[in-house]
Amino acid sequence: MHVTLLSGPNLDLLGQREPEVYGTDRLSDHVRRARAVAEAHGWRLDHVQTNDEGALIDAVHDARGRSDALVVNAGALTHTSWSLHDALAAFDGVVVELHLSNPAAREPFRHTSVVAPVADGLVAGMGGLGYELAIEAAVRLVAARAHDGPGKEEP
Ligand code: DQA
């Protein structure tokens, strides 16, 4: 089984960028812990970080037929990218939206997510722990789907 973790714009700056909001861990620290959770379940994890909207969409396309789940922290593209929304809508597996911060408790422009309507669920506001929780959720949602079929996604 396979999960792709996608990181959008500016997440490459984690550790330096607004540490009071996003913490001091680097993206590589989050990916390492996410991978450990995936591997504990016998899953493989690929990670893609890009500052480019088109490359993020290409990464969603690449995951089609290859990944059982996507965990997506799209950065600010979460709030704007209908192209990303459409790409995720064309992905058959489980989609978990992920944020370090809680966008709902921040500026109004962060209150809209175009990822949310095509995600199975959301992990937000948990800081770095969210990376581990999101992988755990993805693994369990895929297992539940395999057991119950689509539409009955009780973890
Ligand atoms: C973020 C929240 C977004 O609003 C913001 O643009 C980011 C990071 C988060 O992980 O909290 O870049 O996705």
- Structural domain including 60 reads 2-148
20 alpha carbon to ligand 1 midpoint, in Å?
13
In-domain check, residue 115: yes
Which pTM value belongs to this model? 0.95
Q: pLDDT (tens digit, 0 to 9) for every residue of the chain, 155 residues total?
A: 999 999 999 999 999 999 999 999 999 999 999 999 999 999 999 999 999 999 999 999 999 999 999 999 999 999 999 999 999 999 999 999 999 999 999 999 999 999 999 999 999 999 999 999 999 999 999 999 988 876 554 55
Q: Is 113 in the pocket of ligand 1 (CB under 6 A)?
A: no
Atom number in ligand 1 closest to CA 110? 4
Number of domains within the chain: 1
Task: Please give the DSSP secondary-structure letter assigned to residue 48.
Answer: E
What CATH number should be reported for the domain holding residue 17?
Answer: 3.40.50.9100
Strands (DSSP E) contained in the chain are 2-7, 44-49, 69-73, 94-99, 121-124
Q: Is residue 155 part of a domain?
A: no
Catalytic residues: 22, 99
A 10 A CB-CB count for 113 gives 19
Residues 124 and 153 sit within 8 Å (Cβ to Cβ) = no
8 occurs within a structural domain? yes
Locus of tokens 């330096």: 16
